Amino acid sequence: MANKPPTLDLLTLPLLGRFWRWRHARTAMQIPLLLVALVVVWDGFTGSPLAPRNLATILPWLHYRGFVILALLIFGNAFCMACPFMLPRNALRRFIQPARHWPARLRNKWLAAALFALFLFVYERYDLWSTPWWTAWLIVGYFITALLLDALFEGAPFCKYVCPLGQFNFLGSLVSPFEVRVRSQDVCAACTTHDCLRGRGTQRGCELWLFQPRKVGNLDCTFCLDCVHACPHDNIGIQPRLPAAELWFDGARSGVGRLFRRADFAALTTIFVFGALLNAFGMVSPVYTLEAWLADLLHVQSETPVLAIIFGAALLLEPLLLLGGAAWLTRHLAHVPHTPVHIALRYVYTLVPFGVGMWAAHYAFHFLSGFWSFVPVVQSIALEFGITWLGRPHWELAALVPLAWLDPLEWGLIGLGAFGSLIAITERAQRDAPHAWQRAALPWVGVLLVLTLSALWLMTQPMEMRGTLLG
């Protein structure tokens, strides 16, 4: 029998826990999001081309992103748990059981990192936030890609190795307060079937190949709860954790290995952190001055090469200088017996909390300033179908809170993220150089300071209120 959980376990709560223990709980969460996705695609193809008047630009770029970061901060990877892209895929697998293995050379995060960077570039280059038609095609493309890949290959390669949104959620969930983990290691030690990984009967096990007794933290965990349903000992729960604690864990972890030997994860983390600043920079007025100067310097009319230079500088050159310089200084100041590359691989993950704070500050601005913008769009669509009881569209609706509240909230989120990274840097330094940890940490505190000041400067600039009539 499983030991009694020593701490709070969400799966033991009367209503919520009972729902999550239901075998079809994930499907019940996916269906509403699938219906929303279908409405968004329909409106994107047939509705108004104006971004503030179309659900295809309002719901994904204002509400979805805001709810994602909110869920990560207060719970965990809820949107992978309820991912609508997996619902058609799961239906297809009732008829098709793929036997192909995902190519060995692609069993890493390099493809996902490249797609994440490409996603950020395409978003900026083609103004996805203002083009309902392209946003609708992006969603359709997501469904098709997930369906094809998971129809050809066993497991969940789309989630683990491809999906840019999933990678964002994986990294963001490093600071989440809950994780899926075993309740008793003793029970797992006595288990001989390992159903949490292999599955049991018609219940599949973990398709992301995370063996629960050796799983550490939230990396690569979609919160699908397949392991919960497969475990014959009822030994897996959703339990509280110290946010970001896994950032200074040195041991091997199931499905990941030793994180500090994974250059692919480090690259993905770098894009996550520096991409947070870059994504916000694309929405403030100084970027247009920079783009005009570069276009004049290069004598080009197209925005593509200009943006490519900005992205290269922000995602390659700047990280190389900051992270490489900090690693070199740590090696010489603290006499750490590692190469600068190895040091950078160990410290880059400490910047994740800052990255989450920056993404949260940015998304909070758009989410809160345009929260009610979906109401008049829904009213307008209802009138097109002869439904009058919702009233006429109130296009003046937008902000959820007074706009004067946004700046303090943004600064607070950035400050909390920076504080989390400061703790992570300190913990990392004390483990790597216990006799000179202050000198080891100093260069990385400097990097954090540069990033934090950059973030605060960005959030004080006038920002486009994309997706709203105020934009």
Q: What is the DSSP string of 236-267?
A: EEEEE--TTGGGG--S-BTTTB-GGG-HHHHH
Torsion of Cα atoms, 401 then 407 then 410 then 412, to 10°: -110
Nearest of 227, 114, 217, 115 to residue 175 by alpha carbon: 217
pLDDT band at 1 (very low <50, low <70, confident <90, very high): very low
pLDDT for the residue 467: 57
Neighbour-count burial of 266, counting CB atoms closer than 10 A to its CB (0-12 exposed, 13-18 middle, 19+ buried): buried
Q: Is the pLDDT of residue 103 over 60?
A: yes
Q: Is the pLDDT of residue 107 over 80?
A: yes
Q: Is the pLDDT of residue 99 over 90?
A: no
Rounded CA-CA distance 106/158 in Å is 11
The values of phi and psi at residue 178, to 5°, are -130, 155
179, 218 Cβ separation under 8 angstroms: yes
Query: Per residue in 299-318, pLDDT tens?
Result: 999 999 999 999 999 999 99
58, 374 Cβ separation under 8 angstroms: yes
pLDDT for the residue 278: 97
Summarize the confidence of residues 350-372 as an average pLDDT.
Answer: 95
pLDDT band at 285 (very low <50, low <70, confident <90, very high): confident
pLDDT band at 2 (very low <50, low <70, confident <90, very high): very low
Amino acid at 157: P
Longest dimension (CA), the chain: 74
For the chain, what percentages of helix, strand and coil (3-state, to nearest 5) are there?
Answer: 65, 5, 30
Residue 50 has which token pair?
A: 């104006």
Q: Is the pLDDT of residue 468 over 80?
A: no
The values of phi and psi at residue 257, to 5°, are 80, -150
pTM of the model: 0.94
Q: Which of 46-50, 106-110, 172-176, 451-455 has the lowest mean pLDDT?
A: 46-50
Query: Per residue in 254-265, pLDDT tens?
Result: 999 999 999 999
Torsion of Cα atoms, 150 then 267 then 225 then 72, to 10°: -130
Q: Is the pLDDT of residue 6 over 60?
A: no
Q: What length is written for the chain?
A: 471
Summarize the confidence of residues 348-364 as an average pLDDT.
Answer: 97
Query: Per residue in 169-211, pLDDT tens?
Result: 999 999 999 999 999 999 999 999 999 999 998 899 999 999 9
Q: Which residues lie below 8 Å from residue 292, measured CB to CB, with a gap of 6+?
A: none
pLDDT for the residue 466: 59
pLDDT band at 397 (very low <50, low <70, confident <90, very high): confident
- The residue extents of the domains of the chain are 10-243, 259-460
pLDDT band at 83 (very low <50, low <70, confident <90, very high): very high
Highest mean pLDDT among 233-247, 376-390, 391-405: 233-247
